[in-house]
A and B are shown apart, each in its own frame.
Chain A
Amino acid sequence: MKVSDLSESDLRGLLRQGNLLLQISPFVARIRSDVHKVAHEIALMYGDFTVCQPEVFADFHVEVAREAGLRRWVSPLARFAFDGKRSFVPLPAAQAFPMIEWGLNWCVAAHAHQYLVIHAAVIEKGGRAAVLPAPPGSGKSTLCAGLVNRGWRLLSDELALYDLATGLIHGMARPVNLKNASIDVIRAFAPEAVFTVPVPDTTKGTVALMRPSSGSVLRAQEPVRPAWIILPKYEANAEAVLSVHGKAETFMLVAEQSFNYDIHGLRGFNAVADLLDQCASHTFTYGHLDDAVRVFERLAAEPAS
């Protein structure tokens, strides 16, 4: 059963009971929430995702619940909880859905040590993945959102799950998190894309989520062989320039952008080195998404080395 098979009322009931089990391959997340609008946003963003039966094993048990007392009614606040333990500071209830997204990212980054978890967007075309690791503010999610609206498959805009045993990358195909000016940039670039209502005044500024394509969600269980590591950098009005970048320098950035590199020790070191062995390494500066799409199309058209 898909989320889209359920009415918002059904979803709200499952969320209140803590019985909404979403398959975000390769994980299952059990979500509980008493925040009314969460059901609407899950329906909007996760329509193509599979809902698992309540008895299925869930990797992560997450909850966003309204704070008790007067703050339940006056400028209501909500708080994220993981495995029944309240975590992080309470935030305005209007941020409940982004909170679930950030919370799920934290769950994966902090616990999924069967993978090397890299802070990177991952997209795929022709059976080859481009990994875009970058610090916040580099234009990674904007570039990712632009490309997945031009035929690339979304694996993730935030977390690359690198399987240390197979060398393949998994993604969850979850909604793309856009911030501030990027929201209008992607709205103009892809008018058909579906967004949540932007939420202002979060710690990241104004945020909105973009629904992943049905095709990406349907193929979320297919890991991909990485072919390119591309370090993106947005510069207003800059020409699109793709340049070869030293693998040793790229290694250091990938290690720095990995949440659990240190945990894996020599195995993690070898995993990143093996990743670099099988990928071309580039920097990519861009100022316009149309130019970026052309550069990535040329890249995808090149024969595999």
Chain B
Amino acid sequence: MVLDSVPVGIWRACDEARAGIRSWDGESSAVFYSAHSGDTHLIDALAVELHELLSARPMSEPQILAALADVVEPGCEAEAASELHEHLLRLKGFGLLRESLD
């Protein structure tokens, strides 16, 4: 039996979410309105950064981590990877990002 490679989750920005994001210079938080749910969420600046990053091109979690390497504390990569996964799932729940299998 030949095993295929394990499918990798690819994260994309929800394009329609762009109109519902507002942030202010120098602030660590931003707000996001989901037209889908009608809810408004307080999100952190990283969420906005992730949306912008994934708007440029879809990425896997390792690729996202690599793109954020400059802001991850050295030696904390494993914890950052775990936190990132939770963060991505939360933003998916808000309707800011979506995930598909490659």
Query: Which residues in A have some Cβ–Cβ distance to B below 8 Å?
Result: 246-249, 251-252, 255, 261-262, 265-266, 269-270, 273, 276-277
Q: Are A248 and B35 in contact (CB under 8 A)?
A: no
- Which of B27, B29, B38 interacts with A262 by CB under 8 Å? B38
- Which of A248, A269, A273 interacts with B29 by CB under 8 Å? A248
B27 partner residues in chain A, CB cutoff 8 A: 246-248
B28 partner residues in chain A, CB cutoff 8 A: 246
Give the docked Cα–Cα distance between A265 and B22 (Å): 15
B20 partner residues in chain A, CB cutoff 8 A: 266, 269
Q: Is B23 an interface residue (CB 8 A)?
A: yes
Interchain residue pairs with CB less than 8 A apart (30): A246-B28, A247-B24, A248-B22, A248-B27, A248-B29, A248-B30, A248-B31, A249-B29, A249-B42, A251-B22, A251-B31, A251-B40, A251-B42, A252-B40, A252-B42, A261-B40, A262-B38, A265-B38, A266-B19, A266-B20, A266-B33, A266-B35, A269-B20, A269-B22, A269-B40, A270-B22, A273-B22, A276-B22, A276-B24, A277-B24
Q: Are A255 and B29 in contact (CB under 8 A)?
A: no
Give the docked Cα–Cα distance between A261 and B20 (Å): 14
Give the docked Cα–Cα distance between A195 and B30 (Å): 43
B29 partner residues in chain A, CB cutoff 8 A: 246, 248-249
Give the docked Cα–Cα distance between A276 and B40 (Å): 15
Give the docked Cα–Cα distance between A251 and B33 (Å): 11
A251 partner residues in chain B, CB cutoff 8 A: 22, 31, 40, 42
Query: Which residues in B have some Cβ–Cβ distance to A below 8 Å?
Result: 19-20, 22-24, 27-31, 33, 35, 38, 40, 42
Give the docked Cα–Cα distance between A235 and B38 (Å): 36
Q: Which 8 A-B pairs have the closest CB atoms?
A: A248-B29, A269-B33, A273-B22, A247-B24, A251-B31, A248-B31, A252-B42, A246-B27
Within the complex, the shortest CB–CB distance from A269 to chain B, in Å, comes to 4
Given contacts A266-B19, A266-B20, A269-B40, contact A252 B35 (CB under 8 A): no
Give the docked Cα–Cα distance between A178 and B20 (Å): 38
Give the docked Cα–Cα distance between A121 and B31 (Å): 24
Give the docked Cα–Cα distance between A277 and B24 (Å): 8
